[in-house]
Amino acid sequence: MSRIVVIGATGHVGGYLVPRLVRAGHVVIAVSRGQRSPYRADDAWQQVTRVELDREAGDADGTFAAAIAELNADIVVDMMCFTEDSARQLAGALRGRVEFLLSAGTIWVHGPAKAVPTSETDDRHPIGDYGIGKAAVEAFLIAESQSGGLPATVLHPGHITGPGWPMVNAVGNFDLRVWEALAAGKPLTLPNLGLETVHHVHADDVAQAFEKAIEHQATAAGKSYHVVSERAMTLRGIAETAASWFGQDAQLVYVPFEEFLAGIEPEHAEASREHISRSPSMSIAAAASDLGYAPRYTSAAAIADGLQWLIAGGQIDTSGRSFLP
């Protein structure tokens, strides 16, 4: 049994991870900016100590890392680190006091795919502030661990999916009208031939990977791992699969990429560009071999679980059609 601090505990993954850790017998301290309810209700939260800390303010004045160190954890799980400076502050405070640090990264540390499935050791060419920042965090933590400092592991989730929020859809953005068009059998415009890929992962499978890394920390320390479903899906594949859940055949129209982007709202166009330009398809061979990671959900099953929640909450109009994934 370990004393585990989870930073960002009430987020998408924390809602699954914290109950997992409690049921595994660990003492869990859940750190979050406020006292909002977790995404998922679970009786396990009654056994969790809640701590409120504002990371952004604490990083700015140098108090956050020290506050985490004072919680006297054996293991720290950091779901909310976005800059190298933040990682350096935390590692400096935890070095010699904590036995293991796990940090959540992103598959966007790779940038656009060159070969698929992409492995953790392939050349990195991240694009955009988010991917570049996460790559810098990873590089620092892995070097820190491999040089004999604080043992650390970085797990890189794909497009996290499940109940509680919209997921990446068949055109690479979060517009709920895309699902409604598929449910109603209406035409849906895809970029190019719809063969670009996105790589989903259910939030509970991400939580599983963190739990597995804790169980195998001697092997995992100093390494990073992809955490995604077994296989990515093409945009066309998502559209056709989702339409079939509503008893429809997808009515797909294909146009050049820039024409597609010009035809949708700017915020959706930006999200589509970010996802489609990378077209990730990641290997999980290393996580499977080292950690025993075995995703429970396929990409389609993860999407279906999220859609079920959206439909139940009235966020998607299914035109009266039954949803049968």
The percent of residues above 90 in pLDDT, for the chain, comes to 95
Identify the pLDDT of residue 25. 98
Measuring CA to CA, how many Å separate 50 from each of 4, 26, 103? 12, 15, 20
Rounded distance between C-alpha atoms, residue 259 and residue 183, angstroms: 24
Q: Is the pLDDT of residue 35 over 80?
A: no
DSSP string spanning 173-241? S--THHHHHHHHT-EEEEETTS--EE-EEEHHHHHHHHHHHHHTHHHHTT-EEEE--SS-EEHHHHHHH
Identify the pLDDT of residue 259. 98
The percent of residues above 70 in pLDDT, for the chain, comes to 100
Give the pLDDT band of residue 39 (cuts 50, 70, 90).
confident
Q: Kindly report the CATH class assigned to 3-160+200-227.
A: alpha beta
Q: Is the pLDDT of residue 223 over 90?
A: yes
The pLDDT tens digits for 115-148 are: 999 999 999 999 999 999 999 999 999 999 999 9
Identify the pLDDT of residue 128. 94
Mean pLDDT of 41-46: 92
Rounded distance between C-alpha atoms, residue 135 and residue 262, angstroms: 30
Q: In 3D, which of 101, 80, 104 has the Cα closest to residue 151?
A: 101
| Domain regions of the chain by residue span | 3-160+200-227, 163-198+231-280+299-312
CATH number of 163-198+231-280+299-312: 3.90.25
Q: Is the pLDDT of residue 87 over 80?
A: yes
Identify the pLDDT of residue 113. 85
